[in-house]
A and B are shown apart, each in its own frame.
Chain A
């Protein structure tokens, strides 16, 4: 079975644009969560988010995620020593693209347009309104991205809510292991920092309250919820043999992937983290690693009461004892990037492996006895060769990756 190297990475998140910006932000334990600037929030119940601060970016409903993806892709290809202008049939694409949204002002205008007739079956909308929607559909974005990345091989688009990024990476791993591709461009992007999406998350009573820098407090006893973020990450996965042949440098290795369902509820995770534990165990088995060989876990760690408790129970269950492995949640710095979260966190985990240090969990000041983990509150040096990165989603969707240092 082919082993899978990561030979290129690109990332853009509330912490900044590019690997170097993220390396510094992790070292300095920076926070990318701020008051929202994209639209006025005075009368909104949600005022904070992890925004990518760039006023030139378009609205979420007008291709913001595509722009972020292209930027991350350019960096990943440069990092991997690849050219975007050289397509290959042995290059595949495995994507996680965030849920499409609609601009409310545009919808209000469409509803007033003379062409609109909702009594028809199917309803009639102004052609431009429909065309804008179609152009941003995942299948269209997938085609566009495949063309942009020169990926003439298979093209997957995975959507498993907040676990999507891990599943896109996991599918890419499988394609290489089975010999169906020499290289997989694993890409994820999501821009849910928009009025409609934020209101929908608010209705689920899952969002954190408080001042931006202190609102997201994973595993802390005073945590109140998660903060929505936005961003994109691209990882170039490559068959080790192929990478060696072209003398590519390994950023790390993707050695394990596991997926499992909670089978408990639509919004609430299993209180003992049943599916999360199954996914972690499956990832460890896939990597042929024992829990004690894992030196760090980048937790899903959203900062919601139930999720953090369930993840703690799952880690304790898999490891056998509480607090035996260092755990942090980088969502405390970036916010929750939803479909892009796990891919961005895979990049952050690989940077931590490269730098041999453990990223911080911001705002972790009062341990929660119901989360008996060895939570890393401040960044610190550590020696480790293998790490786990978790991604769990609504609907009881769980996935985990094992990432390792280059051989």
Chain B
């Protein structure tokens, strides 16, 4: 039976509106009292290159900022850090959760208004004017996978890359897939990130700006480089959609759907001292054991549907 590797969390970061914390996400009163926007967010304090910032819309900026916050405690803020830590860039990947980004932005509105609204609109005239009125890179600002591209460039990640836009299930799917990718030996490090911003939506979903990120690593390589281990993650079988809908992050699903699952994990990580940090659908979070106890996992049994457990030391 192939052995699965143990996966640990070595970095975490988030940006939430004033008054909100990941642990408060299940508390309806807390969320109502909190603001909805990251008012004091300054993208330049996370991403130094103005040229890079200009190619990012708001949701990519806050996603990148959360990733920077997570990679800092992991000691991996630049491509050279990754290699210094003994990581091979091709074995370091990224898993992202994003909601659909609306094409109806200020640039498109201005371009349409420039031709005429209502019955005045002339499609042919728009076609002629588009080269001058639309932003040349607007297509790239609308693609959900560009968050992965930006983080890849920021941190030097060349490994597997997944972006999920499955609505409120996205970030738990991203974390689980990242866990499995490491556990099965296809990568040694996976950056998980998610973000929501009403600025890039057409309607009232999401209603809150939020961004979160986790750094997951193979336990053996994290221990080897002396990283701080925040918790162990054990991926279980992917839950069905109804099971996910009944999951605890319900409240945040309404507020920030793409980020909800990551915030749920972050909330459990903040529960220090618990013997068992908690289960989320398809994911178990447990404290890391002393190095001497670390042992490989075994492949889960399909018949039992059980999550992979560590074998007896």
Decide whether A and B are members of one complex.
yes
Given contacts A1-B2, A130-B202, contact A152 B121 (CB under 8 A): no
Quick one: which of B170-213 are within 8 Å of A by CB? 170, 173, 177, 180, 186, 198, 201-205
A49 to B157, CA, bound (A): 35
Given contacts A100-B103, A108-B115, A202-B131, contact A154 B238 (CB under 8 A): yes
Q: By the criterion CB–CB under 8 Å, are A154 and B239 in contact?
A: yes
Q: By the criterion CB–CB under 8 Å, are B162 and A167 in contact?
A: yes
Q: By the criterion CB–CB under 8 Å, are B302 and A179 in contact?
A: yes
Cβ–Cβ < 8 Å partners of B128 in chain A:
43-44
Does B9 lie at the interface of the complex (its beta carbon under 8 Å from any beta carbon of A)? no
Contact of B165 among A89, A138, A203 (CB under 8 A): A138
Minimal Cβ-Cβ distance residue in B for A278: B90
Q: Which of B25-33, B69-77, B133-141 contacts A (4 or more CB under 8 A)?
A: B133-141
Q: Is the interface on chain B under 10, 10 to 19, 20 to 34, or 35 or more residues?
A: 35 or more
Cβ–Cβ < 8 Å partners of A264 in chain B:
153
Cβ–Cβ < 8 Å partners of A201 in chain B:
139
Q: By the criterion CB–CB under 8 Å, are B165 and A139 in contact?
A: yes
Minimal Cβ-Cβ distance residue in A for B242: A152
Does B113 lie at the interface of the complex (its beta carbon under 8 Å from any beta carbon of A)? yes
User: Smallest distance from the beta carbon of A159 to chain B beta carbons, Å?
Assistant: 5
User: Smallest distance from the beta carbon of B89 to chain A beta carbons, Å?
Assistant: 7
Does B118 lie at the interface of the complex (its beta carbon under 8 Å from any beta carbon of A)? yes
Does B164 lie at the interface of the complex (its beta carbon under 8 Å from any beta carbon of A)? yes
Q: Which of B142-150, B215-223, B287-295 contacts A (4 or more CB under 8 A)?
A: B142-150
Q: Which of B14-22, B92-100, B226-234, B261-269 contacts A (4 or more CB under 8 A)?
A: B92-100
Q: Which of B40-48, B104-112, B270-278 contacts A (4 or more CB under 8 A)?
A: B104-112
Cβ–Cβ < 8 Å partners of B94 in chain A:
261
Cβ–Cβ < 8 Å partners of A102 in chain B:
102-104, 108
Contact of A160 among B117, B161, B173, B204 (CB under 8 A): B161
Contact of A137 among B79, B100, B145, B300 (CB under 8 A): B100
Q: Which of A291-299, A316-324, A390-398 contacts B (4 or more CB under 8 A)?
A: A390-398
Of the listed residues B145, B146, B299, the one surrounded by the most CB atoms of chain A closer than 10 A to its CB is B145
A154 to B241, CA, bound (A): 6
Chain A 166-185 near chain B by CB (<8 Å), digits 1 or 0: 01000100110011110000
Cβ–Cβ < 8 Å partners of B117 in chain A:
108-109, 111-112
Minimal Cβ-Cβ distance residue in B for A142: B166
A276 to B57, CA, bound (A): 27
Q: By the criterion CB–CB under 8 Å, are B186 and A43 in contact?
A: no
Chain A 274-286 near chain B by CB (<8 Å), digits 1 or 0: 1100100010000
Quick one: which of A90-137 are within 8 Å of B by CB? 92, 97, 99-102, 104-105, 107-109, 111-112, 118, 122, 125, 130, 133-134, 137
**A-B pairs, 5 with minimum CB distance:** A139-B167, A179-B302, A395-B149, A112-B118, A108-B121
